[in-house]
Amino acid sequence: MAQFKGVFMIQLYGGQQTRAAIVRWYLEELGIPYEFVVMDMKAGAHKQPDFLAINPMGKVPALVDGEVKLWESGAILLYLADSQEKMPEDAGARGQVYQWVLFANSTLPQAMTGEAKETQLPKLLTALDAALTGKEFLVGDTLTVADVAMASILSYAQMLFQIDFSPYSAVQSYLGGMTERSAFRKGIMGQD
Ligand SMILES: N[C@@H](CCC(=O)N[C@@H](CS)C(=O)NCC(=O)O)C(=O)O
């Protein structure tokens, strides 16, 4: 197991241009030591037995933290926030963090392709815009994993699906604020 100053170090498994970038952003925000294991996915490294022992689904990201092995980016974000004691104390606020992470990982991206892009997505973005109006962060007054999950998906929406956020000024300014964070630039944009 990888170590840092005699302590087991978190390992994040990913590949070039994968959703491992989302988790990397949060690890950078946390400022804790970690090893980013970039696998050769073109060569099928993520389908080899040693990686399948970490994630039997054969997908990235996956995280190893001592005895803990996890996969699914949203679950990994929530685990890190919890284990690093970054979740809100209030149960209702924690519920909102879960809500936005799940929305960002399922409902929102599902509406970004096909017919839903024309029918569903504008409604979701209008509601998101209202939720973000006058706010820098989704939950409370500090960055949570809800923001990491949401802003990652929004930036992928722009890059991969050419989704235009200009009709949604609060969404646009929220995303602009996130992209200015050095941890975002390192994690999502890969700028070291
Ligand atoms: N919902 C999952 C998606 C995982 C996923 O599909 N990862 C892609 C890379 S972004 C992958 O590993 N693809 C390789 C494959 O399916 O063989 C998450 O957020 O972690």
Of all protein residues, whose CA lies closest to atom 13 belonging to ligand 1?
59
Ligand 1 near 109 CB (within 6 A) = no
The radius of gyration of the chain's CA atoms, rounded to the nearest angstrom, is 17
Ligand 1 near 144 CB (within 6 A) = no
The answer to whether residue 1 scores a pLDDT higher than 80 is no
Ligand 1 binding pocket mutation candidate from 51, 60, 153 (most atoms within 8 A of CB) = 60
Ligand 1 near 136 CB (within 6 A) = no
In contact, 4 and 26? CB cutoff 8 Å: no
- Which residues contact residue 159 at a Cβ distance below 8 angstroms, ignoring those fewer than 6 apart? none
Q: Which atom of ligand 1 is nearest to the CA of 22?
A: 19
Q: Tens of pLDDT along 52-94? A: 999 999 999 999 999 999 999 999 999 999 999 999 999 999 9
pTM of this structure: 0.96
Q: Tens of pLDDT along 98-137? A: 999 999 999 999 999 999 999 999 999 999 999 999 999 9
Residue 62: the pLDDT is 98
